[in-house]
């Protein structure tokens, strides 16, 4: 089964538990203002790769995965634009006893996602804002499908880690974060919440591609703001990562 791949990281440590083989797929329907990989947007870019070959590469890293509680993560772009490829890759991993993690925006039809979810152990779900207007402005798409996806994962009992990028003057409204926290208390499958402070690592790619980077003048959030956001989740007894350091 062929898929279009943007890049590969063989020993990733930030996209799911343990040491992970990370496949970044090509193509994304979102246009997030803070995207690090705008070169992953076009569906026709990247390199075509075969799951038969990829699984052989993944297997080489099994000892690292076993010792660290890791596995494979398929990220993007948006992996669910290539559901057959991701399903086949995950299926092959499950046959090898490898933990599978899907990193997604959740902007997908549920019947398209379901065959992939049959082989998914963990989902990393970005909820980029709980305010529909901010979400639309930030991503170019509506919020509802992501929430529908979150609720579907809850119904299926698939563990999820929620990720929230904190951007000054964009996603730092504490009332919106409070509403997000309340919403997350209605889900039973949230294992962890990560607040990711905004940074501009991808800015040079926007320039290279001739795209207009709207966050040029935006700085990373102060620690105090990150702590305020974390405290909101903590107050709702949600599993916020790094809460012990508050
Ligand atoms: S979902 Fe990810 S890859 Fe797609 S535009 Fe947003 S940040 Fe970039």
* Å from CA of 30 to ligand 1 middle: 6
For ligand 1, atom 2, which residue shows the shortest CA distance? 77
pLDDT tens by residue, 118-157: 999 999 999 999 999 999 999 999 999 999 999 999 999 9
pLDDT for the residue numbered 173: 98
Task: Kindly give the distance from the C-alpha atom of residue 104 to the centroid of ligand 1, in angstroms, as a whole number.
Answer: 9
Q: What pTM did the predictor assign?
A: 0.97
> How far apart are alpha carbons 89 and 99 in whole angstroms?
12
Judge contact between 104 and 86, C-beta under 8 A.
Answer: no
- Rounding to the nearest 10 degrees, give the CA dihedral for residues 134, 140, 144, 148: -120
pLDDT of residue 40: 97
User: Tens digits of per-residue pLDDT, 26-52?
Assistant: 999 999 999 999 999 999 999 999 999
Question: What's the rounded Cα separation, in Å, for the pair 20 and 125?
Answer: 17
CA 242, 166, 172, 132 torsion: positive or negative?
A: negative
Site residues for ligand 1, CB cut-off 6 Å: 28, 30-32, 35, 37, 40, 76-78, 105
Is 18 in a helix, a strand, or coil? coil
Read off the pLDDT of residues 14-26 as tens digits, 9 standing for 90 and up: 999 999 999 999 9
Residue identified by tokens 């709702």 is 236
Per-residue model confidence (pLDDT) at position 228? 97
Spatial separation of the C-alpha atoms in residues 61 and 228, rounded to whole Å: 39
| Closest to 25 (Cα-Cα) out of 71, 74, 89 | 74
pLDDT of residue 216: 95
């Amino acid at each position: 089964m062929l898929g279009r791949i943007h890049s590969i990281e063989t020993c990733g440590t930030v996209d799911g538990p343990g040491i992970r083989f990370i496949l970044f797929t090509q193509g994304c329907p979102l246009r997030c203002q803070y995207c690090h990989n705008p070169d992953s947007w076009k569906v026709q870019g990247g390199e075509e790769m075969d799951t038969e070959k990829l699984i052989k590469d993944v297997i080489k890293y099994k000892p690292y995965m076993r010792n660290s509680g890791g596995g494979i993560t398929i990220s993007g772009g948006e992996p669910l634009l290539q559901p057959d490829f991701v399903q086949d890759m995950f299926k092959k991993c499950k046959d090898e006893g490898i933990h599978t993690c899907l990193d997604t925006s959740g902007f997908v039809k549920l019947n398209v996602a379901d065959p992939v979810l049959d082989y998914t152990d963990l989902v990393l779900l970005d909820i980029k804002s709980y305010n529909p207007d901010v979400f639309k402005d930030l991503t170019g798409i509506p919020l509802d499908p992501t929430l529908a996806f979150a609720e579907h994962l809850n119904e299926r009992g698939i563990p999820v880690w929620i990720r929230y990028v904190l951007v000054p003057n964009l996603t730092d409204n504490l009332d919106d974060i409070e509403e997000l926290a309340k919403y997350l208390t209605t889900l039973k499958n949230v294992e962890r919440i990560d607040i990711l402070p905004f940074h501009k690592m991808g800015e040079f790619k926007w320039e290279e591609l001739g795209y207009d980077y709207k966050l040029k003048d935006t700085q990373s959030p102060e620690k105090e703001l990150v702590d305020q956001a974390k405290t909101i989740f903590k107050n709702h007894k949600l599993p916020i990562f790094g809460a012990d350091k508050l």
